[in-house]
Amino acid sequence: MTRNYGALETKRFLVTPETKDFPRNNYGMATARGNNGSGQRPNNTTQNRICQFKLVLLGESAVGKSSLVLRFVKGQFHEYQESTIGAAFLTQTLCIDDTTVKFEIWDTAGQERYHSLAPMYYRGAQAAIVVYDIQNQDSFERAKNWVKELQRQATPNIVIALAGNKADLSQSRVVEHDEAKQYAEENGLLFLETSAKTAMNVNDIFLAIAKKLPKVEGNNGNVHGRRLNENEPNRQMNNCCK
Amino acid sequence: MDSEYDAIVLGTGLKECILSGMLSVSGKKVLHIDRNKYYGGESASLTPIKDLFQHFNSEDPGEKFGRGKDWNVDLIPKFLMANGQLVKLLIHTGVTRYVEFKSIEGSYVYKGGKISKVPVDQKEALASDLMGMFEKRRFRNFLIYVQDIREDDIKTWKDFDPTKQNAQALYDKFGLDKNTQDFTGHALALHRDDEYLAEPAIVTIRRIKLYSDSLARYGKSPYLYPMYGLCELPQGFARLSAIYGGTYMLDKQVDEIVYDGNGKVVGVRSGEELAKCKQVFCDPTYVNEKVRIKGKVVRCICILDHPIPNTKDALSTQIIIPQKQVGRRSDIYVSVVSSTHQVAAKGFFIAMVSTTVESDNPENEIKPGLDLLGPIAQKFVSVSDYYEPTDKGLESQVFISESYDATTHFETTCLDVLDIFKRATGEEFDFSKIKHEIGDEEQ
């Protein structure tokens, strides 16, 4: 199935500051197969393996979960982003060596607010980003609870990244970088401080996850059914398809 | 919670979640509450397995049935018709992105003490032991007639008025014998009893078309079942509602629905909190005073460590026992799902036998179904009332759904939902509203 990002948005994404810093011959944002090519990277000409992963976002309300995704997927940031409405399912692809990693990103849609996230949310998730606000100690404690919740509910070998967001506001920081880093190390989590506003480390955290995910066919033994589709009734969903 | 909403939805059963999604999509401000700490209400899927045992006041089975968290056991068994209303709703709302499905492998019908596969194509029909040689020819002519008929084209009706003449007259026109009528009316048209025989034939024709159109979609059978159990469906629609701004509160006590002097709803009270609203949508368990008992359903959940005998080891099946075959007035349904749907631990099967209660000994009524299953490792029988609202909601603005009936699929569920939506908003649900707005997220 082809992705159809607007060429404009893809381009905008390509010129975000941190993208420039990537060694382009190794990774880069790629539009998926079948695009008209306007956003295609010159080095991404060969067709390679595509692996698809479900990634969920967790964290207290207003720590910037949706902003991180919007920055990653669309290269946008809104200072006064409303509570999540209307965009809780986004996809973005990354290229690592000969593999295209497609993230299917699930946002909480605000259902975390009154502890009403459905079990469906965690189901089959292969990666998670647990977000806290570096200005808010409570949000960090909540993040630790989310990590526990994931270890209890999610697939056993889920890749978890901890993101200390709003890192651009370090003058009002209360959660120390080293404290969070130590916690992450003790619990086997990836860790980066991020800023959806300046785009700092946003792509990097997704890249780090993509690199850590096992990219083999049928990874972690998930069993898949079929997705219903108006036009392609017989399309089978596979976890990792050639 | 102390805020003002357009609508408050009580209970997270499938109907309430679909309504919640439709209302949020239509721009309404929705608060959705459930007194339980899980989604699904009466139609929940219980997990892990100890919760199922607890639900029926039994002791934790420990490791006897494999890993407890591999189980998601539906309290109410249903399948989706592949071309039915619910599938259309799932696709139009984009909720299909959150749920994956598998086809049910086999569809069987009970005749003369044993089960036979409902034929899916010409070849199977010719080999079927359901009818004799000459009857097969008559049945074939009947099917061709049904396939070709178009409601808006009188020429295709061929000297028969399906809108006026009844189903019995249609059978007689093709000379179908009693056994074939039974099979057609119950295993293809999925009628629960024989009242349809006196109703206009068009109803039955539509249902047979639904069966065959559904069959054409995925091949093996007309039925679909979601991975991880039926409770994924309400969760999916709840997510849709949340995406469009709906607020979710599980594990929240609902103490009172508050009315003004004229009996019109003004809000919902939980402890000291009062949430104001213009309308309330709920299942019958939240408004005892506005519903009446319509009937009783007996359901038996059986855990098996083997597939159903005589189904070629199918990992999922539906068996219909037409009422006449066992001297009843309503059909008995058997549905089987297994580890292939992530609802049971590896090597285990969940069979559910259900029917509408007709006697004082409901457990005895489902015996013909249980007898088909082979050895049963564990069974839980429940008899539940099903309710219908006595208040259509036009004055009170409280809109109550019907309980889930004994039908094996969701067609009546969707009709109820669409009817409630229309009563409450005065308009049909505009499916196009969603597609355009979600369109930019994924193609």
pLDDT score, position A210: 95
A228 vs B90, B245, B438: nearest CB: B90
Domain termination residue (choose one: B339, B370, B386): B386
A227 vs B100, B218, B248: nearest CB: B100
pLDDT of residue A242 exceeding 60, the answer is no
Which range marks the domain in which residue B356 is found?
57-105+294-386
At B138, which CATH number?
A: 1.10.405.10
**pLDDT tens-place string over residues A110-123:** 899 998 999 999 88
pLDDT of residue A37 exceeding 60, the answer is no
pLDDT score, position A98: 85
Do B214 and B122 sit in the same domain of this protein? yes
* Regions of chain B with pLDDT less than 50: 436-443
Do B81 and B161 sit in the same domain of this protein? no
At B34, which CATH number?
A: 3.50.50.60
Do B369 and B344 sit in the same domain of this protein? yes
Residues of B in contact with A61 (CB under 8 A): none
pLDDT score, position B93: 85
Residue B51 domain-assigned (yes or no): no
Do B244 and B329 sit in the same domain of this protein? no
pLDDT score, position B1: 72
pLDDT score, position A16: 31
| Rounded Cα gap, residues B78 and B141, in angstroms | 31
CB within 8 Å: A4 and B443: yes
Do B211 and B250 sit in the same domain of this protein? no
The burial of B392, by beta-carbon neighbours within 10 Å (0-12 exposed, 13-18 middle, 19 or more buried), is given as: middle
Do B346 and B382 sit in the same domain of this protein? yes
| CA nearest neighbour of B196 among B207, B180, B209 | B207
Residues of A in contact with B238 (CB under 8 A): 111, 118
Residue B377 domain-assigned (yes or no): yes
Residue B274 domain-assigned (yes or no): yes
At B300, which CATH number?
A: 3.30.519.10
pLDDT of residue A29 exceeding 80, the answer is no
CB within 8 Å: B442 and A88: no
B101 vs A113, A118, A226: nearest CB: A226
Contact residues, B window 238-277, toward A, CB-based 8 Å cutoff: 238-239, 242-245, 247-252
Do B89 and B121 sit in the same domain of this protein? no
pLDDT score, position A216: 67
Place A28 in a pLDDT band, splitting at 50, 70 and 90: very low
Residue B143 domain-assigned (yes or no): yes
The total number of structural domains that make up chain B: 3
Do B11 and B150 sit in the same domain of this protein? no
Residue B201 domain-assigned (yes or no): yes
CB within 8 Å: A120 and B87: no
| CA nearest neighbour of B120 among B217, B262, B227, B31 | B217
Name the minimum distance, in Å, from the CA of A163 to any CA of chain B: 23
Q: Does A152 contact chain B (CB < 8 Å)?
A: no
Give the percent of chain A with pLDDT over 70: 68
Q: Does B342 contact chain A (CB < 8 Å)?
A: yes
A109 vs B97, B239, B252: nearest CB: B239
Residue B48 domain-assigned (yes or no): no
pLDDT score, position B433: 62
CB within 8 Å: A119 and B39: yes
Do B370 and B301 sit in the same domain of this protein? yes
Residue B50 domain-assigned (yes or no): no
Do B16 and B30 sit in the same domain of this protein? yes
How many Cβ atoms from other residues are within 10 Å of residue B152's Cβ? 5
Name the minimum distance, in Å, from the CA of B244 to any CA of chain A: 5
CB within 8 Å: A225 and B102: yes
Angle at which helix B167-174 crosses helix B133-148, to 10 degrees, equals 130
Q: Does A156 contact chain B (CB < 8 Å)?
A: no
Contact residues, A window 68-97, toward B, CB-based 8 Å cutoff: 84-91
Nearest CA in chain A to B227: A225
Do B257 and B323 sit in the same domain of this protein? no
> B320 - beta bridge partners?
B109, B333
Give percent helix, percent strand, percent coil of chain B, each to the nearest 5: 35, 25, 40
pLDDT score, position A50: 86
Residue B66 domain-assigned (yes or no): yes
ipTM value, please give it. Answer: 0.82
Name the minimum distance, in Å, from the CA of A6 to any CA of chain B: 9
CB within 8 Å: B235 and A118: yes
> B224 - beta bridge partners?
B80, B103
Q: Does A15 contact chain B (CB < 8 Å)?
A: no
Domain termination residue (choose one: B218, B241, B257): B218
Do B398 and B272 sit in the same domain of this protein? yes
Contact A18, A199 (CB under 8 A): yes
pLDDT score, position A53: 93
Domain termination residue (choose one: B189, B218, B247): B218
